[in-house]
Amino acid sequence: MDHLLEIRNLSIELPQGRRKPPVKLVEGVDLTVRKKQNFGVVGESGCGKSITCSSIMGLLSFPLSLGQGSSIRFQQGDGREVEITGLSKAELRKLRGRDISMIFQEPMTALDPMYTIEEQICESLLFHASLSKAEMHDAALEMLRKVKIPRPEQILKDYPHHLSGGMLQRVMIAIALINNPRLLIADEPTTALDVTIQAQILDLMNELRESYDTSVIMITHDLGVIAETCEEVAVFYAGQVVEQSDVNTIFHAPAHPYTAGLLRSVLSLGGAQQELYTIQGTVPTAGNFSAGCRFADRCEHCMDICRNRAPALSEISPGHLCRCWLHADTPKEETA
Ligand SMILES: Nc1ncnc2c1ncn2[C@@H]1O[C@H](COP(=O)(O)OP(=O)(O)OP(=O)(O)O)[C@@H](O)[C@H]1O
């Protein structure tokens, strides 16, 4: 089977006390990540990208929980498929680091200021492999070389505060890849870095992907990062996937007005004479979604039906999914 990860009907709920039903922060998300695929998850702040990916790691923060019927199936290194939502805490710990790793926006907060870089790399090795101290040292050194850290012997002895943001992110990538995971989740890995360092980190991730058999889920609000690194992309809006397709289609023939708006705002940044384009309005907060399309209030193509009935995510051409009445078999003359 070509599939590494299959998410079906994922919902993530925020409880509202005993009297009210929980608010669904994420609803009805289906995603499939293939082996060795670079999969992008893009959308504005607060649309549910990070909590969706945290749920893959079994790391939803209190008081969030998975809704009934949510399924996350993952194929382990031994070929066995596991249902992540049914794993115990101990089984999840085993899966993390060995099969699934994550890198975050702020490497400084993910690393412990009290321990050297060598101690922190070796800690993740300790947990997953039975190596001697000398073998662990060699493995850590080799990994720092792979992520192109200069003077790796010295860096192993350093503490996190001795390193720049770009170097720390390289260390995080080394830690994430040292056990050769099948899936790497990268949550805005370059957002906190300046532009030239961003490009270097993205290049490094692309290079490493060639030499590891790892699939990557790249979470970002930046379509430029998606263009640089991904083959397939899911566009999130207000807790749902609104469009999904290969990257080429998303960039050249976006179907959902939200995706088209995101692209226009990126393109207008590049044009010297053009006025900066922004999508009017803001993302509705969870619990305040309308009965119809969640993007209706901001949409330039809004029709009557969009305000009253929620569109389903449907396949508008092979491999291209879109959640929009403009592309559904419904009368289009119902313009508001
Ligand atoms: N522990 C929590 N308790 C309550 N609400 C939460 C919690 N964690 C996340 N949320 C809410 O869930 C929604 C989705 O959050 P999430 O962090 O996944 O968004 P995002 O798309 O990753 O945004 P960003 O790019 O800003 O990280 C937001 O409305 C957020 O406020």
Residue 231: band (very low, low, confident or very high) from pLDDT cuts 50, 70, 90: very high
Share of the chain above pLDDT 90, in %: 66
* Ramachandran category for residue 315: left, alpha or beta (phi over 0 → left; psi -120 to 50 → alpha): beta
pLDDT confidence tier of residue 213, bands split at 50, 70 and 90: confident
**In the prediction, which pLDDT does 274 show?**
60
Taking residues 3-19, what's their average pLDDT?
A: 94
pLDDT at 205 (0 to 100): 87
| Centre of ligand 1 from the C-alpha of residue 48, in Å | 6
Domain segments of the chain as ranges: 36-58+88-248, 261-327
d(CA 7, CA 17): 28
The arithmetic mean of pLDDT across residues 99-124, rounded, is 90
Q: Is the pLDDT of residue 93 over 60?
A: yes
Q: At what angle do helices 195-211 and 165-177 cross, to 10 degrees?
A: 20
Least confident segment among 190-199, 226-235, 315-324: 190-199
What's the pLDDT band for 334 if we cut at 50, 70, 90? Answer: very low
**Share above pLDDT 70 across residues of the chain, in percent, rounded to a whole number:** 93
The two structure tokens encoding residue 47: 């649309």
Q: Is the pLDDT of residue 74 over 50?
A: yes
Which of 2-6, 191-195, 289-293 has the weakest average pLDDT?
191-195
Strand arrangement of the beta sheet that strand 38-42 belongs to: 100-103, 183-187, 215-220, 38-42, 232-237, 240-246, 320-322, 314-317
Q: Give the chain's mean pLDDT.
A: 90
**Span 257-278, pLDDT tens digits:** 999 999 988 766 555 556 678 8
Pocket perturbation via mutation, ligand 1, pick of 27, 47, 55, 220 by most ligand atoms within 8 A of CB? 47
Q: Sorting pLDDT into bands at 50, 70 and 90, what band is 287?
A: confident
H or E, element range at 277: none
Quick check: helix, strand or coil at residue 172? Answer: helix
Instruction: Look at ligand 1, atom 24, and give the residue with the nearest C-alpha.
Output: 45
Cα 93 from Cα 157, distance rounded (Å): 27
CATH code given to domain 36-58+88-248? 3.40.50.300
- Whether residue 233 has pLDDT greater than 70: yes
Strands in the chain per DSSP E: 3-14, 23-34, 38-42, 65-66, 71-75, 81-83, 100-103, 183-187, 215-220, 232-237, 240-246, 314-317, 320-322
- CA distances to 21, 32, 44, 72 from 238, in Å: 18, 20, 9, 20
Please name which of 125, 124, 116 lies closest in space to residue 157, comparing C-alpha atoms. Answer: 116
ipTM of this complex: 0.97
Residues lining ligand 1, judged by CB closer than 6 Å? 14, 25, 43, 45-51, 61, 64, 221, 286
Q: DSSP class of residue 326? A: G
User: What is the CA(285)–ligand 1 centre distance, in A?
Assistant: 10
